[in-house]
């Protein structure tokens, strides 16, 4: 069964008044070189969604090169992967995200593989640990020592005067920052005990964030 995406008909127009597109307000002026997707029942505006995504565009470029090297048209690749030609075209242009499952299907047909690898962060040393220390020191006269945060991660203990700093860090820092800071402290692999230590401190300071629950 075709998905809603496969039923959309791309129609390029040189200029279309905004008020003629369903769901938009009046008197906002014309739109140049837009792309509208029409379904059987409605008209949808994708003026913002059609911007190119750099990472998807880079992947789409590799797919296009491989497709052309195999002598395949977009239509034939679409038929081989049970996708629409419009989907293939948009993906190669970097203007739509097909999702992992569909990209893997395309890669399989083209005899390609997708791989993920750890992002290597270079100098300055312990960059993210320093950022975590700065995050925990906001609004405090005495900054959180880097050694105290390392101690907290390794033992689940922290000096009483710096407990509010750690609580601020755990409550306000992004999960990504915590992951990278832990990786700075444990470059050979973050042990589960380190996360348990943060959970312990989070419970002690009544931090309510989901990723720090027991």
Q: Is residue 151 situated within a structural domain?
A: yes
Q: Is residue 114 situated within a structural domain?
A: no
Q: Is residue 181 situated within a structural domain?
A: yes
Domain co-membership, 171 together with 202: yes
Q: What is the mean pLDDT of residues 116-122?
A: 68
Domain co-membership, 98 together with 152: no
Domain co-membership, 134 together with 193: yes
Q: How many domains does the chain have?
A: 3
User: If pLDDT is split at 50, 70 and 90, which confidence band does 162 have?
Assistant: very high
Residue 41 has pLDDT above 80, yes or no: no
Work out the angle at residue 138's Cα, subtended by the Cα atoms of residues 134 and 141, and round it to the nearest 5 degrees. Answer: 105
Domain co-membership, 28 together with 59: no
What lies within 8 Å, CB to CB, of 71 at 6+ separation is none
Indicate which CATH number applies to the domain containing 58. Answer: 1.10.260.40
For 59-74, the pLDDT digits (tens) are 899 999 999 998 989 9
User: If pLDDT is split at 50, 70 and 90, which confidence band does 157 have?
Assistant: very high
Domain with 75 in it = 54-109
Q: What is the pLDDT of residue 53?
A: 76
């Amino acid at each position: 069964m075709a998905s809603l995406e496969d039923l959309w008909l791309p129609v390029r127009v040189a200029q279309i008044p905004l008020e003629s597109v369903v769901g938009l307000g009046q008197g906002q002026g014309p739109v140049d070189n837009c792309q509208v997707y029409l379904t059987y029942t409605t008209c949808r505006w994708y003026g913002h969604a059609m911007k190119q995504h750099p990472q998807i565009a880079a992947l789409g470029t590799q797919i296009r090169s491989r497709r052309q090297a195999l002598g395949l048209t977009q239509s034939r690749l679409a038929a081989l992967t049970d996708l629409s030609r419009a989907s293939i075209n948009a993906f190669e242009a970097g203007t739509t995200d097909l999702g992992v499952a569909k990209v893997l299907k395309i890669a399989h047909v083209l005899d390609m593989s997708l791989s993920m690898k750890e992002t290597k962060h270079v100098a300055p040393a312990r960059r993210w640990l320093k950022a975590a220390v700065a995050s925990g020191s906001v609004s405090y006269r005495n900054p959180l020592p880097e050694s105290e945060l390392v101690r907290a991660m390794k033992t689940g203990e922290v000096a009483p005067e710096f407990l509010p700093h750690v609580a601020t860090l755990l409550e306000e820092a992004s999960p990504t920052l915590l992951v990278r800071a832990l990786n700075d402290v444990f470059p050979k692999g973050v042990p589960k005990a380190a996360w348990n230590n943060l959970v312990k401190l989070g419970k002690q300071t009544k931090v309510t964030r989901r990723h720090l629950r027991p």
